[in-house]
């Protein structure tokens, strides 16, 4: 009996290595697919959140900004701004409604004292709010022309022209440097809501400090006095009274709404300013 021995080498070890290699390759491919799926899922979630945020901002602008006057009227102590917090899903929104005519208008300060006088008035108006305020007035070299001869030349149209490139967090901080200053409105000051700093800034070129203090004392004694009655009590000379009366009002036609969106890992800042008659300007950070 003759035995025939096989001369072929055993290849089972190579087959095992090949199988392990294929498994490792498949595992790496699956991990890559899972990672791509996760990234796309996160991108889709961010896109959905951002879409929700943008629609919420648009809705707040269109629905709540026209109601700002009613909110301000119900505010205690004739406050010049009202803050509310709104939660929508995983996002929160801080809303700041403000009466822009309760603030000193930088365009008026510039018209009264030119650049140097306006800088002094701006610093004085916000000195009690933020001592580190970087005031950098940069008026427009060619302001737009208006049909109204009595309107203020709009040489300042944004806070960037007043403070430079500061963060929105700084602008709406507490205390806020924009609480006493504005770039919008017709320049008249709402007597019932204006802060003492705003009144001093606007009336300073026309009244001495003692008479401004008298005006503030009379307002504190009877907050319901309209500008005419208050000036009657002060018994000012006719020429001085006329200049002061043109700067004061008991109504407002310019209001604003800050919308601070706390969305995912960052905050978004949007500002809408209603200048009346459907004229609204928007700023976003």
pLDDT tens for each residue of 68-115: 988 888 887 677 889 999 888 888 999 999 999 999 999 999 999 999
pLDDT attached to residue 9: 55
For 265-283, the pLDDT digits (tens) are 789 999 999 987 778 999 9
Distance from C-alpha of 260 to C-alpha of 267, rounded to nearest angstrom: 7
Distance from C-alpha of 202 to C-alpha of 210, rounded to nearest angstrom: 15
Average pLDDT, the chain: 85
φ, ψ dihedrals at 214, nearest 5°: -65, -45
Percent of the chain with pLDDT over 90: 48
For the chain, the structural domain boundaries read 207-246
Question: Per-residue confidence at 221, pLDDT binned at 50, 70, 90?
Answer: very high
CA-nearest of 244, 275, 233, 232 to 257 is 275
Distance from C-alpha of 90 to C-alpha of 263, rounded to nearest angstrom: 8
CB 53 within 8 A of CB 263: yes
For 33-54, the pLDDT digits (tens) are 777 777 776 677 677 788 888 9
pLDDT attached to residue 27: 80
pLDDT attached to residue 107: 95
CB 124 within 8 A of CB 101: no
Helices (H), the chain: 12-59, 68-73, 106-125, 160-163, 168-171, 196-203, 209-221, 227-234, 238-245
Please determine, for residue 210, whether its predicted confidence score (pLDDT) is greater than 90.
Answer: yes
| The token pair that represents 237 in the structure block | 């000379």
pLDDT attached to residue 152: 77
Please determine, for residue 213, whether its predicted confidence score (pLDDT) is greater than 80.
Answer: yes
pLDDT attached to residue 259: 95
* C-alpha of 221 from chain center: 33
Please determine, for residue 143, whether its predicted confidence score (pLDDT) is greater than 60.
Answer: yes
Torsion, Cα of 120, 78, 281, 158 (10° steps): 10
CA-nearest of 205, 196, 209 to 246 is 205
CB 280 within 8 A of CB 65: yes
Q: Which residue has the higher pLDDT, 211 or 41?
A: 211
Percent of the chain with pLDDT over 70: 87
Torsion, Cα of 103, 107, 108, 113 (10° steps): 120
């Amino acid at each position: 009996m003759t035995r025939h021995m096989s001369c072929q080498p055993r290849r089972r070890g190579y087959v095992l290595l090949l199988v392990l290699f294929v498994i490792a390759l498949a595992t790496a491919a699956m991990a890559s697919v899972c990672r791509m799926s996760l990234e796309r899922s996160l991108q889709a979630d961010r896109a959905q959140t951002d879409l929700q945020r943008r629609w919420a901002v648009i809705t707040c602008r269109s629905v709540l900004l026209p109601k700002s006057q009613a909110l301000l009227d119900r505010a205690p102590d004739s406050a010049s701004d009202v803050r509310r917090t709104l939660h929508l899903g995983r996002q929160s929104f801080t809303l700041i409604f403000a009466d822009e005519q309760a603030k000193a208008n930088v365009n008026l300060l510039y018209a009264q004292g030119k650049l140097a006088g306006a800088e002094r008035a701006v610093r004085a108006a916000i000195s009690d709010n933020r001592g580190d305020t970087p005031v950098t007035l940069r008026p427009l070299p060619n302001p737009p022309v208006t049909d109204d001869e009595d309107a203020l030349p709009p040489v300042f149209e944004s806070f960037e022209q007043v403070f430079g490139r500061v963060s929105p967090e700084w602008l709406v901080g507490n205390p806020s440097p924009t609480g006493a200053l504005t770039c919008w409105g017709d320049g008249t000051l709402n007597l019932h809501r204006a802060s003492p700093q705003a009144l001093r800034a606007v009336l300073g070129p026309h009244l001495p400090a003692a008479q401004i203090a008298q005006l503030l004392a009379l307002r504190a004694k009877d907050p319901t006095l309209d500008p005419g009655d208050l000036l009657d009590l002060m018994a000012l000379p006719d020429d001085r009274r006329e200049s002061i009366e043109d700067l004061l009002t008991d109504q407002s036609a310019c209001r604003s709404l800050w919308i601070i969106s706390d969305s995912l890992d960052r905050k978004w800042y949007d500002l809408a300013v209603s200048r009346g008659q459907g004229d609204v300007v928007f700023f976003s950070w």
